[in-house]
Structure 1
Amino acid sequence: MKMYGRRMARATAPVIGALALFASGAVTAPLEAQAAPAGRVCMFEAPDGAYGAGHAAFAIKAPGKTNHWIYGSFGSTNDAPVNGWINGGTWEKTRGHFTSVRDKDHNNARYYTRYRCVNTRDGDVKRAQSWYTTVKNRGYNVATNNCLHMSMAVFKGYSEALRKDTRLKSATRWTPNDYYNEVLPAARWEASHSL
Protein backbone atom coordinates (compact mmCIF):
# COMPACT_ATOMS: atom_id res chain seq x y z
CA MET A 1 0.00 0.00 0.00
CA LYS A 2 2.91 2.34 0.73
CA MET A 3 4.30 1.72 -2.77
CA TYR A 4 0.99 2.56 -4.41
CA GLY A 5 0.72 5.80 -2.41
CA ARG A 6 4.20 6.98 -3.54
CA ARG A 7 3.45 6.21 -7.21
CA MET A 8 0.18 8.11 -6.96
CA ALA A 9 1.91 11.08 -5.35
CA ARG A 10 4.62 11.06 -8.09
CA ALA A 11 1.99 10.77 -10.86
CA THR A 12 -0.18 13.59 -9.54
CA ALA A 13 2.63 16.05 -8.74
CA PRO A 14 3.06 17.21 -12.40
CA VAL A 15 -0.69 17.61 -12.81
CA ILE A 16 -0.94 19.71 -9.65
CA GLY A 17 2.03 21.80 -10.83
CA ALA A 18 0.44 22.37 -14.25
CA LEU A 19 -2.86 23.37 -12.64
CA ALA A 20 -1.02 25.85 -10.42
CA LEU A 21 0.70 27.42 -13.46
CA PHE A 22 -2.61 27.53 -15.33
CA ALA A 23 -4.39 29.15 -12.38
CA SER A 24 -1.64 31.77 -12.03
CA GLY A 25 -1.93 32.72 -15.72
CA ALA A 26 1.57 31.53 -16.62
CA VAL A 27 0.06 28.92 -18.94
CA THR A 28 -3.08 29.39 -20.96
CA ALA A 29 -5.42 26.89 -22.49
CA PRO A 30 -4.79 26.21 -26.18
CA LEU A 31 -6.82 28.43 -28.48
CA GLU A 32 -9.53 26.75 -30.47
CA ALA A 33 -8.27 26.13 -34.00
CA GLN A 34 -9.73 28.66 -36.41
CA ALA A 35 -10.56 27.76 -39.99
CA ALA A 36 -8.48 29.50 -42.63
CA PRO A 37 -10.44 32.11 -44.55
CA ALA A 38 -11.87 30.79 -47.81
CA GLY A 39 -12.26 34.22 -49.37
CA ARG A 40 -11.28 37.86 -49.27
CA VAL A 41 -12.95 41.04 -50.50
CA CYS A 42 -11.67 44.60 -50.88
CA MET A 43 -13.46 47.88 -51.48
CA PHE A 44 -11.39 50.40 -53.44
CA GLU A 45 -12.38 54.01 -52.89
CA ALA A 46 -11.95 57.34 -54.66
CA PRO A 47 -12.73 59.94 -51.97
CA ASP A 48 -12.92 62.88 -54.42
CA GLY A 49 -15.26 61.04 -56.81
CA ALA A 50 -18.90 62.04 -57.31
CA TYR A 51 -18.23 65.65 -56.30
CA GLY A 52 -16.80 64.65 -52.93
CA ALA A 53 -19.31 61.90 -52.05
CA GLY A 54 -16.75 59.29 -53.11
CA HIS A 55 -16.73 56.40 -55.54
CA ALA A 56 -16.51 52.69 -54.62
CA ALA A 57 -15.21 49.72 -56.60
CA PHE A 58 -14.88 46.05 -55.70
CA ALA A 59 -12.35 43.22 -55.74
CA ILE A 60 -12.99 39.60 -54.69
CA LYS A 61 -10.48 36.77 -54.42
CA ALA A 62 -11.25 33.52 -56.22
CA PRO A 63 -11.33 30.84 -53.48
CA GLY A 64 -8.99 27.93 -54.04
CA LYS A 65 -6.71 29.95 -56.33
CA THR A 66 -3.44 31.31 -55.03
CA ASN A 67 -3.57 34.72 -56.67
CA HIS A 68 -6.65 35.36 -58.80
CA TRP A 69 -9.03 38.26 -58.26
CA ILE A 70 -12.18 39.57 -59.94
CA TYR A 71 -12.53 43.35 -59.82
CA GLY A 72 -14.68 46.07 -61.30
CA SER A 73 -16.70 49.21 -60.97
CA PHE A 74 -19.95 50.89 -61.94
CA GLY A 75 -20.99 54.47 -62.67
CA SER A 76 -17.76 56.46 -62.96
CA THR A 77 -16.71 58.33 -66.09
CA ASN A 78 -13.11 58.17 -64.83
CA ASP A 79 -13.31 54.40 -64.83
CA ALA A 80 -15.20 53.98 -68.14
CA PRO A 81 -17.57 52.60 -69.24
CA VAL A 82 -20.06 54.25 -66.90
CA ASN A 83 -22.45 51.27 -67.20
CA GLY A 84 -19.95 48.99 -65.46
CA TRP A 85 -16.97 46.81 -66.17
CA ILE A 86 -15.42 43.68 -64.68
CA ASN A 87 -11.98 42.12 -65.09
CA GLY A 88 -9.78 39.41 -63.59
CA GLY A 89 -6.13 38.94 -62.75
CA THR A 90 -3.54 38.76 -60.02
CA TRP A 91 -3.58 40.96 -56.94
CA GLU A 92 -0.76 42.96 -58.50
CA LYS A 93 -2.84 43.56 -61.66
CA THR A 94 -5.91 44.42 -59.58
CA ARG A 95 -4.08 46.90 -57.41
CA GLY A 96 -2.21 48.26 -60.43
CA HIS A 97 -5.45 48.98 -62.24
CA PHE A 98 -6.88 51.03 -59.38
CA THR A 99 -3.57 52.83 -58.93
CA SER A 100 -3.48 53.82 -62.61
CA VAL A 101 -6.97 55.41 -62.92
CA ARG A 102 -6.79 59.19 -63.18
CA ASP A 103 -9.36 61.76 -62.06
CA LYS A 104 -10.43 63.84 -65.05
CA ASP A 105 -12.13 66.37 -62.74
CA HIS A 106 -9.10 67.01 -60.52
CA ASN A 107 -6.08 67.72 -62.74
CA ASN A 108 -5.59 64.07 -63.65
CA ALA A 109 -4.62 63.16 -60.07
CA ARG A 110 -4.86 59.57 -58.91
CA TYR A 111 -8.55 58.69 -58.65
CA TYR A 112 -8.60 55.70 -56.28
CA THR A 113 -6.38 56.40 -53.29
CA ARG A 114 -7.30 53.76 -50.70
CA TYR A 115 -8.88 50.39 -49.99
CA ARG A 116 -10.15 48.21 -47.14
CA CYS A 117 -10.33 44.41 -47.11
CA VAL A 118 -11.82 41.65 -44.99
CA ASN A 119 -11.39 37.87 -45.00
CA THR A 120 -14.48 35.71 -45.34
CA ARG A 121 -15.12 32.12 -44.35
CA ASP A 122 -16.80 31.50 -47.72
CA GLY A 123 -16.65 32.80 -51.27
CA ASP A 124 -18.56 32.14 -54.47
CA VAL A 125 -17.25 33.97 -57.54
CA LYS A 126 -20.08 32.83 -59.83
CA ARG A 127 -22.72 34.12 -57.45
CA ALA A 128 -20.84 37.44 -57.12
CA GLN A 129 -20.66 37.78 -60.91
CA SER A 130 -24.37 37.04 -61.13
CA TRP A 131 -25.10 39.91 -58.73
CA TYR A 132 -22.76 42.18 -60.73
CA THR A 133 -24.85 41.43 -63.85
CA THR A 134 -28.14 41.95 -61.99
CA VAL A 135 -27.12 45.37 -60.67
CA LYS A 136 -25.59 46.42 -64.01
CA ASN A 137 -28.77 45.47 -65.89
CA ARG A 138 -30.87 47.66 -63.59
CA GLY A 139 -29.00 50.70 -64.90
CA TYR A 140 -27.20 53.36 -62.94
CA ASN A 141 -29.25 55.49 -60.56
CA VAL A 142 -27.47 57.84 -58.19
CA ALA A 143 -29.94 57.22 -55.33
CA THR A 144 -30.88 53.56 -55.66
CA ASN A 145 -28.34 51.76 -57.87
CA ASN A 146 -24.93 53.37 -57.74
CA CYS A 147 -21.31 52.28 -57.33
CA LEU A 148 -21.77 51.50 -53.63
CA HIS A 149 -24.88 49.39 -54.31
CA MET A 150 -22.89 47.49 -56.95
CA SER A 151 -19.91 46.84 -54.68
CA MET A 152 -22.05 45.71 -51.75
CA ALA A 153 -24.18 43.46 -54.02
CA VAL A 154 -21.02 41.79 -55.32
CA PHE A 155 -19.61 41.35 -51.79
CA LYS A 156 -22.86 39.96 -50.40
CA GLY A 157 -23.36 37.75 -53.44
CA TYR A 158 -19.85 36.40 -52.94
CA SER A 159 -20.12 35.65 -49.23
CA GLU A 160 -23.06 34.37 -47.22
CA ALA A 161 -21.22 35.53 -44.09
CA LEU A 162 -21.16 39.10 -45.42
CA ARG A 163 -24.77 38.81 -46.60
CA LYS A 164 -25.84 37.92 -43.04
CA ASP A 165 -23.62 40.51 -41.33
CA THR A 166 -26.14 43.02 -39.93
CA ARG A 167 -23.35 45.56 -39.41
CA LEU A 168 -23.12 45.96 -43.21
CA LYS A 169 -25.95 48.42 -43.71
CA SER A 170 -27.94 48.91 -46.90
CA ALA A 171 -26.05 51.13 -49.34
CA THR A 172 -29.10 53.35 -49.78
CA ARG A 173 -28.77 56.73 -48.03
CA TRP A 174 -25.01 56.33 -47.58
CA THR A 175 -22.32 58.06 -49.61
CA PRO A 176 -19.37 55.84 -50.56
CA ASN A 177 -17.09 57.99 -48.36
CA ASP A 178 -19.33 57.66 -45.30
CA TYR A 179 -19.83 53.93 -45.85
CA TYR A 180 -16.07 53.42 -46.22
CA ASN A 181 -15.23 55.58 -43.19
CA GLU A 182 -18.03 54.51 -40.82
CA VAL A 183 -19.77 51.27 -41.78
CA LEU A 184 -16.80 49.15 -42.87
CA PRO A 185 -14.73 49.85 -39.71
CA ALA A 186 -17.81 49.14 -37.54
CA ALA A 187 -18.14 45.80 -39.37
CA ARG A 188 -14.51 45.05 -38.45
CA TRP A 189 -12.98 45.42 -41.88
CA GLU A 190 -9.21 45.97 -41.88
CA ALA A 191 -7.66 49.39 -41.53
CA SER A 192 -7.56 51.53 -44.65
CA HIS A 193 -4.58 50.98 -46.95
CA SER A 194 -3.20 53.73 -49.20
CA LEU A 195 -2.64 53.14 -52.89
Structure 2
Amino acid sequence: MRIFARPLARLAVSLAGTASLLAVAAPAPAEAAPLGRACMFVAPKGADRVGHAAFAIKVRGERDHWIYGSFGSTNDAPLNGWIKGGTWGQARSHFKKVHDRDHHDPRYYTQYRCVNTRDGNHKTAQDWYRTVQARGYNLHTNNCLHMSLAVFKGYSSVLRKDRRLVSATDKFPNWYFGTALGKAGWERAKVV
Protein backbone atom coordinates (compact mmCIF):
# COMPACT_ATOMS: atom_id res chain seq x y z
CA MET A 1 0.00 0.00 0.00
CA ARG A 2 2.90 2.36 0.69
CA ILE A 3 3.99 1.96 -2.88
CA PHE A 4 0.79 3.64 -4.08
CA ALA A 5 0.78 6.40 -1.45
CA ARG A 6 3.52 8.53 -3.06
CA PRO A 7 2.15 8.36 -6.61
CA LEU A 8 -1.33 9.15 -5.28
CA ALA A 9 0.03 12.17 -3.37
CA ARG A 10 1.80 13.39 -6.54
CA LEU A 11 -1.37 12.81 -8.54
CA ALA A 12 -3.41 14.82 -5.98
CA VAL A 13 -0.93 17.72 -6.17
CA SER A 14 -0.93 17.50 -9.94
CA LEU A 15 -4.73 17.46 -10.11
CA ALA A 16 -4.96 20.39 -7.67
CA GLY A 17 -2.59 22.36 -9.89
CA THR A 18 -4.66 21.47 -12.95
CA ALA A 19 -7.85 22.49 -11.19
CA SER A 20 -6.38 25.86 -10.29
CA LEU A 21 -5.25 26.32 -13.90
CA LEU A 22 -8.73 25.43 -15.08
CA ALA A 23 -10.22 27.95 -12.64
CA VAL A 24 -7.94 30.68 -13.98
CA ALA A 25 -8.49 29.73 -17.61
CA ALA A 26 -12.26 29.28 -17.30
CA PRO A 27 -14.32 31.93 -19.08
CA ALA A 28 -15.55 34.76 -16.90
CA PRO A 29 -19.26 34.74 -16.09
CA ALA A 30 -21.44 37.17 -18.02
CA GLU A 31 -21.32 40.67 -16.60
CA ALA A 32 -24.21 41.75 -14.46
CA ALA A 33 -26.56 44.28 -15.99
CA PRO A 34 -25.09 47.79 -15.76
CA LEU A 35 -26.17 49.79 -12.76
CA GLY A 36 -28.66 52.56 -12.93
CA ARG A 37 -27.39 56.05 -12.11
CA ALA A 38 -29.21 59.20 -11.05
CA CYS A 39 -27.77 62.71 -10.70
CA MET A 40 -29.17 65.93 -9.28
CA PHE A 41 -27.84 69.24 -10.58
CA VAL A 42 -28.21 72.37 -8.48
CA ALA A 43 -28.23 76.08 -9.21
CA PRO A 44 -27.55 77.51 -5.73
CA LYS A 45 -28.58 81.09 -6.55
CA GLY A 46 -31.83 80.02 -8.17
CA ALA A 47 -35.25 80.90 -6.69
CA ASP A 48 -33.97 83.75 -4.53
CA ARG A 49 -30.98 81.71 -3.38
CA VAL A 50 -32.90 78.71 -2.01
CA GLY A 51 -31.71 76.84 -5.10
CA HIS A 52 -33.00 75.19 -8.22
CA ALA A 53 -32.77 71.46 -8.96
CA ALA A 54 -32.55 69.50 -12.21
CA PHE A 55 -32.16 65.80 -12.93
CA ALA A 56 -30.26 63.31 -15.07
CA ILE A 57 -30.76 59.53 -15.21
CA LYS A 58 -28.77 56.92 -17.11
CA VAL A 59 -30.64 54.65 -19.48
CA ARG A 60 -29.77 51.20 -18.13
CA GLY A 61 -28.26 48.82 -20.61
CA GLU A 62 -26.97 51.66 -22.79
CA ARG A 63 -23.29 52.54 -22.66
CA ASP A 64 -23.74 56.30 -22.52
CA HIS A 65 -27.31 57.48 -22.92
CA TRP A 66 -28.95 59.80 -20.40
CA ILE A 67 -32.32 61.50 -19.94
CA TYR A 68 -32.06 64.94 -18.33
CA GLY A 69 -34.24 67.93 -17.69
CA SER A 70 -35.67 70.56 -15.41
CA PHE A 71 -38.89 72.18 -14.31
CA GLY A 72 -39.82 75.65 -13.14
CA SER A 73 -36.87 77.87 -14.04
CA THR A 74 -36.90 80.70 -16.54
CA ASN A 75 -33.10 80.43 -16.82
CA ASP A 76 -33.37 77.19 -18.77
CA ALA A 77 -36.89 77.84 -20.03
CA PRO A 78 -39.67 76.94 -20.49
CA LEU A 79 -41.09 77.30 -17.01
CA ASN A 80 -43.33 74.25 -17.47
CA GLY A 81 -40.28 72.04 -17.96
CA TRP A 82 -38.07 70.43 -20.55
CA ILE A 83 -36.56 66.98 -21.06
CA LYS A 84 -33.82 65.78 -23.43
CA GLY A 85 -31.75 62.72 -24.19
CA GLY A 86 -28.07 62.41 -25.01
CA THR A 87 -24.66 61.38 -23.74
CA TRP A 88 -23.32 62.25 -20.30
CA GLY A 89 -21.07 64.81 -21.99
CA GLN A 90 -24.07 66.45 -23.65
CA ALA A 91 -26.06 66.50 -20.40
CA ARG A 92 -23.22 68.01 -18.41
CA SER A 93 -22.44 70.49 -21.18
CA HIS A 94 -26.07 71.61 -21.27
CA PHE A 95 -26.13 72.33 -17.53
CA LYS A 96 -22.74 74.01 -17.73
CA LYS A 97 -23.90 76.42 -20.47
CA VAL A 98 -27.07 77.70 -18.77
CA HIS A 99 -26.55 81.35 -17.83
CA ASP A 100 -27.97 82.78 -14.63
CA ARG A 101 -29.94 85.67 -16.10
CA ASP A 102 -31.40 86.56 -12.70
CA HIS A 103 -27.97 87.34 -11.23
CA HIS A 104 -26.07 88.09 -14.45
CA ASP A 105 -23.70 85.19 -13.79
CA PRO A 106 -22.20 83.14 -16.59
CA ARG A 107 -23.21 79.89 -14.86
CA TYR A 108 -26.49 78.84 -13.31
CA TYR A 109 -25.94 75.17 -12.42
CA THR A 110 -22.67 74.79 -10.56
CA GLN A 111 -22.70 71.34 -8.91
CA TYR A 112 -24.12 67.84 -9.21
CA ARG A 113 -24.32 64.71 -7.05
CA CYS A 114 -24.94 61.17 -8.27
CA VAL A 115 -25.82 57.76 -6.93
CA ASN A 116 -25.76 54.28 -8.47
CA THR A 117 -28.80 52.04 -8.16
CA ARG A 118 -29.15 48.35 -8.86
CA ASP A 119 -32.22 49.11 -10.96
CA GLY A 120 -33.43 51.85 -13.24
CA ASN A 121 -36.28 52.25 -15.69
CA HIS A 122 -36.05 55.39 -17.80
CA LYS A 123 -39.54 54.88 -19.28
CA THR A 124 -41.17 54.93 -15.85
CA ALA A 125 -39.09 57.98 -14.95
CA GLN A 126 -40.35 59.76 -18.07
CA ASP A 127 -43.93 58.83 -17.15
CA TRP A 128 -43.43 60.47 -13.75
CA TYR A 129 -41.92 63.52 -15.44
CA ARG A 130 -45.05 63.91 -17.59
CA THR A 131 -47.34 63.37 -14.58
CA VAL A 132 -45.65 66.08 -12.51
CA GLN A 133 -45.43 68.41 -15.51
CA ALA A 134 -49.17 68.02 -16.19
CA ARG A 135 -49.97 69.18 -12.65
CA GLY A 136 -48.43 72.56 -13.41
CA TYR A 137 -45.77 74.40 -11.50
CA ASN A 138 -46.53 75.36 -7.91
CA LEU A 139 -43.83 76.86 -5.70
CA HIS A 140 -44.85 74.89 -2.59
CA THR A 141 -46.25 71.59 -3.83
CA ASN A 142 -44.94 70.97 -7.36
CA ASN A 143 -41.62 72.62 -8.01
CA CYS A 144 -38.21 71.70 -9.44
CA LEU A 145 -37.30 69.59 -6.42
CA HIS A 146 -40.59 67.68 -6.56
CA MET A 147 -39.95 67.03 -10.25
CA SER A 148 -36.41 65.77 -9.73
CA LEU A 149 -37.45 63.45 -6.90
CA ALA A 150 -40.43 62.15 -8.88
CA VAL A 151 -38.10 61.30 -11.76
CA PHE A 152 -35.58 59.59 -9.44
CA LYS A 153 -38.23 57.63 -7.58
CA GLY A 154 -40.01 56.70 -10.81
CA TYR A 155 -36.69 55.54 -12.21
CA SER A 156 -35.60 53.35 -9.31
CA SER A 157 -37.53 51.28 -6.79
CA VAL A 158 -34.39 51.43 -4.62
CA LEU A 159 -34.61 55.23 -4.53
CA ARG A 160 -38.40 55.12 -4.16
CA LYS A 161 -38.08 52.98 -1.01
CA ASP A 162 -35.17 54.94 0.46
CA ARG A 163 -36.66 56.67 3.51
CA ARG A 164 -33.71 59.05 3.64
CA LEU A 165 -35.04 60.74 0.48
CA VAL A 166 -37.65 62.73 2.36
CA SER A 167 -40.56 64.58 0.80
CA ALA A 168 -39.71 67.73 -1.14
CA THR A 169 -42.66 69.63 0.33
CA ASP A 170 -41.44 72.61 2.34
CA LYS A 171 -37.80 71.76 1.53
CA PHE A 172 -35.41 73.95 -0.41
CA PRO A 173 -33.26 72.53 -3.23
CA ASN A 174 -30.00 73.80 -1.68
CA TRP A 175 -30.80 72.10 1.63
CA TYR A 176 -31.91 68.91 -0.11
CA PHE A 177 -28.81 68.81 -2.31
CA GLY A 178 -26.42 69.51 0.57
CA THR A 179 -28.06 67.65 3.44
CA ALA A 180 -30.64 65.06 2.37
CA LEU A 181 -28.60 63.63 -0.50
CA GLY A 182 -25.55 63.43 1.75
CA LYS A 183 -27.48 61.53 4.42
CA ALA A 184 -28.87 59.23 1.70
CA GLY A 185 -25.36 58.21 0.65
CA TRP A 186 -25.13 60.08 -2.65
CA GLU A 187 -21.61 60.84 -3.91
CA ARG A 188 -19.92 64.09 -2.93
CA ALA A 189 -20.78 67.17 -4.94
CA LYS A 190 -18.79 67.75 -8.12
CA VAL A 191 -18.40 70.89 -10.18
CA VAL A 192 -20.47 70.97 -13.36
TM over 0.5: yes
In the alignment, structure 1 residue 128 sits paired with structure 2 residue 125: yes
| RMSD between aligned residues | 1.9
Q: 1:176 aligns with which of 170, 173, 177?
A: 173
Rounded to whole Å, the distance in 2 between the matches of 1:183 and 1:54 is 14
Secondary structure (helix, strand or coil) at the match of 1:110 reads coil
Report the equivalent of 1:144: 141
- Mapping for residues 39-188 of structure 1, pairs under 5 Å: 39-188=36-185
What is the CA distance between 1:108 and its match in structure 2?
3.3
Question: Which residue is equivalent to 2:190?
Answer: 193
What secondary structure does 1:79 align onto? coil
Deviates more, 1:132-141 or 1:37-46: 37-46
**SS state of the match for residue 149, structure 1?**
helix
Q: Post-superposition shift, 1:156?
A: 0.2
Moved more, 113-122 or 35-44: 35-44
- Structure-2 residue corresponding to 1:21: none
CA offset at residue 173 of structure 1? 1.3
Identity %, equivalent residues: 65
Q: Deviation string for 1:33-61 (max 9, x for gaps)?
A: xx665210000000000000000000000
AA in 2 matched with 1:61: K
Q: How many pairs align?
A: 173
- Residue deviations 1:84-111, cap 9 Å, x none? 0000000000000000000001113200
Cα distance in 1, alignment partners of residues 139 and 158 from structure 2: 27
Task: Give the Cα separation in 2 of the matches to 1:120 and 1:189.
Answer: 10
| TM-score with structure 2 setting the length | 0.83
Aligned residue type for 2:120? G
Q: Which structure 2 segments of 5+ residues have no match?
A: 4-11, 13-31
